[in-house]
Amino acid sequence: MTIKQSELEILLKNAFPNSVIEIKDLAGDDNHFAARICSSLFKGKNKVEQHQMVYKALKGKMDKELHALSISTEEK
Amino acid sequence: MDVNKKIEEIINSGDVVLFMKGTPEMPQCGFSMVAVNILKHLKINFNSFDVYSDENIRQGIKKYSNWPTIPQIYVKKEFIGGSDILKEMFEKKELSKFFLDKGIQINN
Q: What CATH number is attached to the domain comprising B90?
A: 3.40.30.10
**What is the distance between the alpha carbons of residues B81 and B78, in angstroms, rounded to a whole number?**
9
Minimum-distance CB partner of A70 among B66, B80, B84: B84
Find the domain containing B38 and state its range.
3-101
Decide if B64 touches A, using CB distance below 8 A.
no
Q: B43 vs B36, B80, B81, B94, B97, CA distance in Å?
A: 10, 18, 19, 15, 14
**What is the distance between the alpha carbons of residues B81 and A5, in angstroms, rounded to a whole number?**
24
User: Which residues, in sequence order, are CB contacts of A51 under 8 Å at separation 6+?
Assistant: A71, A73, B67, B81, B82, B84, B85
Nearest Cα to A36, choosing from A50, A44, A45? A50
pLDDT band, residue B108 (cuts 50/70/90):
low
Establish, for the pair of chains A and B, how many residue pairs have beta carbons separated by less than 8 Å: 32
Please report the pLDDT score of residue B107 as a whole number. 75
Give the gap in angstroms from C-alpha B22 to the nearest C-alpha of chain A.
Answer: 16
**pLDDT over 80 (residue B1):** no
Domain presence at residue B108? no
The amino acid present at B62, given as its one-letter code, is K
Find the domain containing A69 and state its range.
5-75
Q: What is the pTM of this model?
A: 0.95
Peptide bond into B71 cis (omega under 30): yes
Average pLDDT, chain B: 96
Domain presence at residue B107? no
Quote the ipTM score.
Answer: 0.92
**How distant is the alpha carbon of residue B14 from its chain centre?**
11
Please report the pLDDT score of residue A36 as a whole number. 98
Interface test mutation site (partner A, options B34, B59, B75, B84, max chain A beta carbons within 10 A): B84
Looking at the structure of chain B, the number of domains it has is: 1
Ramachandran sector of residue B52 (left: φ over 0; alpha: ψ -120 to 50; beta: rest):
alpha
pLDDT tens for B30-54 read: 999 999 999 999 999 999 999 999 9
Note whether A51 contacts B85, CB cutoff 8 Å. Answer: yes
pLDDT tens for B58-94 read: 999 999 999 999 999 999 999 999 999 999 999 999 9
Instruction: Beginning with the edge strand found earlier in the chain, give each strand of the sheet holding B78-81 in spatial order.
Output: B47-50, B16-20, B72-75, B78-81
Note whether A48 contacts B31, CB cutoff 8 Å. Answer: no
Minimum-distance CB partner of A48 among B30, B62, B85: B85
Minimum-distance CB partner of B85 among A47, A55, A62: A47
